[in-house]
Amino acid sequence: MDMVSEMEKKLVPYGKLVLLGAGRLGARVFERIIMTHRGGFSRVAVVDGGTIEENDYYHLLMGALPKENKASFLKRRFLTPDTRYKDIEALPFDFSDQFDLLKDASVVISTIAGGDTIPIVAAVGKFCVESGIPFITTNGVFGFGDEDVKVCIPLAAVTEGPALFLKDYDFPQKSFITAFVGTGKLIKDGLPIASIILDKIADAISIQALKFHHRRKSGRLY
């Protein structure tokens, strides 16, 4: 029994996750990451300048208030009085070029959505690769719910989806600390963004984040 107790003491959260985007997908990823037990991340920084709108049903079901900042809401909803176990930092602004926020990250996840997000995702990803920080981003979130969600590592393995546009920004194509997760569908395909597909993508992103994190601790990333 003493041996089991000693092993349990070693399975504690450590390191920092930076999550860019706290929208419908980002909130789901955050929830899975923060609820990880016996390991995972001890610090989570979530960056988002958006506010809760009337159709943000996932946030509203969790107790968000209309017009409340999305990042601040996740901190309010999940932070416990004892931050020695897990700490949450809410940064209520949209990420642009604040790369200092990423320097001490163990893993960076981007769920930034809306408009032309490829340039900022490319810039963040290239910074992470140059800094040796594992980076995960989306590759299409459209779908009915029964589509396959693919995890492509590295960019060279991507054959369809919006991640292909990253190649136009000289994104490293052979870095095995980058992962691209999604259905590979584009807005022009005319599919909805079903809650089921967001759950599946959030599952895949969270799993890959934990894998990158664990491998980094053991001295290997792939």
Instruction: Write out pLDDT tens, residues 172-192.
Output: 999 999 999 999 999 999 999
- 15-28 pLDDT per residue, tens: 999 999 999 999 99
Q: Can you give the residue ranges of every domain in the chain?
A: 2-217
SS3 217: helix
Is residue 75 over pLDDT 70?
A: yes
Q: For domain 2-217, is the CATH number 3.40.630.40?
A: no
Using one digit for the tens of pLDDT, what is the confidence trace for 38-49?
889 999 999 999
Task: Assign 36 to helix, strand or coil.
Answer: coil
User: pLDDT tens-digit profile of 121-163?
Assistant: 999 999 999 999 999 999 999 999 999 999 999 999 999 999 9
Q: Write the pLDDT tens digit of every residue in 81-96.
A: 877 789 999 999 999 9
pLDDT score for 216: 84
More confident residue, 91 or 2: 91
Average pLDDT value for the chain: 94
pTM equals 0.95
Write out the two tokens for 187: 């807005």
Concatenated DSSP letters of 147-187: SPPEEESSGGG--SSGGGGGGGGT--SS-TTEEEEE----G
